[in-house]
Structure 1
Amino acid sequence: MVETMKKDSWLTLIYKIPSEPSSKRVALWRRLKGLGAVYMQNGVCMLPKTDRLIRQAKLIENDIIGMGGEVLLLDATAMDAGQQERVLERFTDERNDQYREFIGQCEAFEAEIAKEFSKNKFTYAELEEEEAELQKLQRWLEKIRALDFYDAPLSSEASAWLDKCEALLDGYAQRVFEEQNPNP
């Protein structure tokens, strides 16, 4: 179920935590990024305002206090269309960066399949390895999509690349089956 999000209202988390141990600072950053937060500056991030993210932000607020930190969790609304556009741009830019990285890995997958064809390497072991790589790509794209709150432009290109990778693996698998079982 996809939650509806207003495009002019967000949660803003402003925090300060002790610099040591740094592992707590890194864990907090990862947790916030894992929710899809965009950082406006150090210690200031924004999230779409949804029921789920409000709950998660409240849990994070408690954790920051438990670390001996300071935190403000605010409801932020864009003052005008320009402000709204800048915030939405930050969210879509971050997702597009992730989609670009994903597409790069799809290109690498395509090159790997081409290499196997050029070497005539059609084994079950190689097929299993390529299948595992494709599954990683599928899970990765699901994770990006889950954080793509505002439909970043590269979403459809990333989906097309995944479809292409799936088709490439299907073609490779067919060839492996033909080579391994020449007389079906």
Structure 2
Amino acid sequence: MTGEPREQDWLVISVSTAGAPDSLRVQVWRKLRSLGALYLQQSVCLLPARPEVVREIRRLIDRVRHQGGTARTLPMAFTDPAEEQAVIAEMNAARDAEYAEVLERLPALRQELADEQARGNATYAEVEESEADLHRFHSWLNKIAARDYFAAPGGQEARDAVEQAAGELAAFEEAALRAEAPDHATPRLRAVKTR
């Protein structure tokens, strides 16, 4: 064996920030949450030992130790496949809850587009604002997907809903283009004159 973790291996991470700056506790919590860690108890969590996770955990442990905290990571393998499946189901449930939040908030963007169009307010400023909102949804979805190690069932529905909103924004943008520059609403090929 090369010492590299197999995909089905796990990491148990234990971190204590006692005696370290208060800001370190928040940094550790944010990093572990961003990786999708499953807490087993306070200060002890579990993550799949994927190469990108192992790298991030090594960096986190170095940071904790350099700032006066204590941290340890231990490789682990489940001996009971049912227990491993239960952990995977719990991680998938956490991701599904995050995907559900995306789905819960997305209708507000879609409704805003519909309302602005109904008011005849399809403008470049509205397009720009809605693009920024859609970009936030894409970014949020990408962050969730990065910690969705086991393809939680809610992921596809959330991705489809964001893509549907992107299509609605494209239609809104076309309406804004027609309203603000009616001659340019449909792209035309024009002959270029040469001297």
The normalised TM-score by structure 1 is: 0.88
Query: Which residue pairs with 1:102 in the alignment?
Result: 102
How many residues of Structure 1 are paired with residues of Structure 2 in the alignment?
A: 180
The reply on whether 1:115 has 2:115 as its aligned counterpart is yes
Shift of residue 105, structure 1, vs aligned partner: 2.4
The reply on whether 1:142 has 2:131 as its aligned counterpart is no
Hey, what's the Cα distance between the residues in 2 that align with 1:21 and 1:100? 35
State the secondary structure of the residue aligned to 1:33.
helix
Rg (Cα) greater in structure: 2
The reply on whether 1:46 has 2:46 as its aligned counterpart is yes
Query: RMSD value over aligned CA atoms?
Result: 2.0
The reply on whether 1:75 has 2:75 as its aligned counterpart is yes
The reply on whether 1:63 has 2:63 as its aligned counterpart is yes
1:39-62: CA deviation from partner (whole Å, max 9, x where unpaired): 222101111112232222222222
The reply on whether 1:166 has 2:166 as its aligned counterpart is yes
Gaps of 5+ in 2: 185-195
| Over 6 Å off, 4+ runs | none
Query: Which residue pairs with 2:7 in the alignment?
Result: 6
Amino acid at match of 1:6: E
Amino acid at match of 2:76: A
Amino acid at match of 1:115: D
Amino acid at match of 1:42: Q
* Structure 2 CA distance for partners of 1:183 and 1:44, relative to 1, 3 Å: same
1:151-174: CA deviation from partner (whole Å, max 9, x where unpaired): 000011011101111111011111
Hey, what's the Cα distance between the residues in 1 that align with 2:30 and 2:22? 12
Hey, what's the Cα distance between the residues in 1 that align with 2:123 and 2:60? 48
Contact 1:15 1:69 in 2 (8 A): yes
Amino acid at match of 1:120: G
Query: Which residue pairs with 1:36 in the alignment?
Result: 36
Q: Name which of structure 1's ranges 75-84 and 144-153 shifts more when overlaid on structure 2.
A: 75-84
Gaps of 5+ in 1: none
* Structure 2 CA distance for partners of 1:19 and 1:109, relative to 1, 3 Å: farther
Amino acid at match of 1:164: Q
Hey, what's the Cα distance between the residues in 2 that align with 1:5 and 1:120? 57
Q: Name which of structure 1's ranges 107-116 and 150-159 shifts more when overlaid on structure 2.
A: 107-116
